[in-house]
């Protein structure tokens, strides 16, 4: 993304809905140049415009605001927040106490994902599970091995947390178990390997 477009997004993030004229004043860039960049950002679904009269005479102003896609593009430190929360919990609980916590998180995650699935077929549920894991940032590979299906997860989105709390893998195990409605076993996991594997019996 060009620097000017990122400056536009940064300005609107800090100041809220903004007109091109206000962008011009704030960024010290001529309006004709900004309009071209704003148009591109709208087409990329990073900005959305809304007309506002504000009780003023003449043509309505167009206020530009960030879309959800644009908000999600800004860096976030959820892993650091999660790690700090778990560290605080860990001062009063043993590592084994985390197991039911992560399992419950996986079950709740599954409930939110499968509530709109129109079928109970394992194939459809697997597709839904893969989509949910990919939304988290994981790279998924599926392999058939006899009567079993192996799910390999690369680019784990919880790598920094797994290093301190390896039982976080039980969240994904619980998520898959409830989503696929079958027993899912962890085949390989932990911070010492480049990806984790989970396996389950394929429905006939």
**CATH code of the domain covering residue 37:** 1.10.10.10
Domain boundary among 43, 72, 101: 72
Same domain as 103, residue 18: no
Domain boundary among 56, 72, 88: 72
pLDDT digits (tens, 9 = 90+) for 145-197: 889 999 988 777 777 777 777 788 889 999 999 999 999 998 865 554 557 88
Contacts of 172 (CB under 8 A, 6+ apart): 106, 133, 153, 196, 198
Same domain as 48, residue 111: no
Which domain does 138 fall in, by range? 78-201
| pTM exceeds 0.75 | no
Same domain as 93, residue 65: no
Do 49 and 64 form a contact (C-beta atoms < 8 A)? yes
Q: Is the four-CA dihedral 121, 123, 127, 133 of positive or negative sign?
A: positive
DSSP string, 28-87: T--HHHHHHHHHHHHHTTSEEEEEE-TT-SSSPEEEEEE-HHHHHTS---HHHHHHHHHH
Domain boundary among 20, 42, 72: 72
Q: Which long-range contacts (CB under 8 A, 24 or more apart) does 41-47 make?
A: 41/5, 41/8, 41/9, 41/70, 45/69, 45/70, 46/9, 46/70, 46/73, 47/8, 47/9, 47/12
Same domain as 66, residue 89: no
pLDDT digits (tens, 9 = 90+) for 21-61: 999 999 999 999 999 999 999 999 999 999 886 656 667 88
Same domain as 136, residue 35: no
- CATH number where 147 lies: 3.30.1380
Same domain as 61, residue 114: no
Radius of gyration, alpha carbons of the chain: 23
Do 160 and 202 form a contact (C-beta atoms < 8 A)? no
Same domain as 84, residue 48: no
Do 167 and 98 form a contact (C-beta atoms < 8 A)? yes
Number of domains in the chain: 2
Average the pLDDT over each of 30-39, 77-86, 96-105, 171-180 and give the range with the smallest value.
77-86
């Amino acid at each position: 993304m060009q620097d000017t477009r990122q400056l536009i997004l940064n300005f609107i993030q800090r100041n809220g809905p903004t007109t091109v004229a206000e962008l011009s004043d704030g960024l010290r860039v001529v309006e004709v140049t900004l309009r071209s960049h704003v148009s591109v950002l709208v087409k990329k679904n990073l900005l959305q415009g809304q007309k506002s009269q504000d009780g003023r005479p003449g043509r309505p102003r167009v206020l530009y605001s960030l879309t959800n896609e644009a908000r999600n593009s800004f860096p976030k430190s959820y892993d650091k927040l999660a790690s700090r929360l778990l560290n605080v919990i860990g001062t009063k609980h043993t590592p084994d106490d985390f197991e039911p916590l992560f399992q419950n998180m996986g079950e709740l995650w599954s409930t939110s994902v499968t509530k709109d699935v129109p079928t109970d077929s394992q194939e459809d549920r697997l597709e839904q599970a893969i989509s949910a894991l990919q939304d988290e940032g994981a790279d998924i590979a599926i392999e058939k091995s006899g009567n079993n299906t192996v799910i390999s997860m690369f680019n784990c989105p919880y790598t920094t947390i797994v290093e301190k709390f390896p039982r976080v893998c039980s969240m994904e195990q619980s998520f898959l178990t409830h989503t696929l409605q079958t027993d899912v076993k962890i085949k390989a996991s932990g911070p010492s390997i480049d990806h984790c594997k989970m396996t389950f019996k394929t429905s006939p």
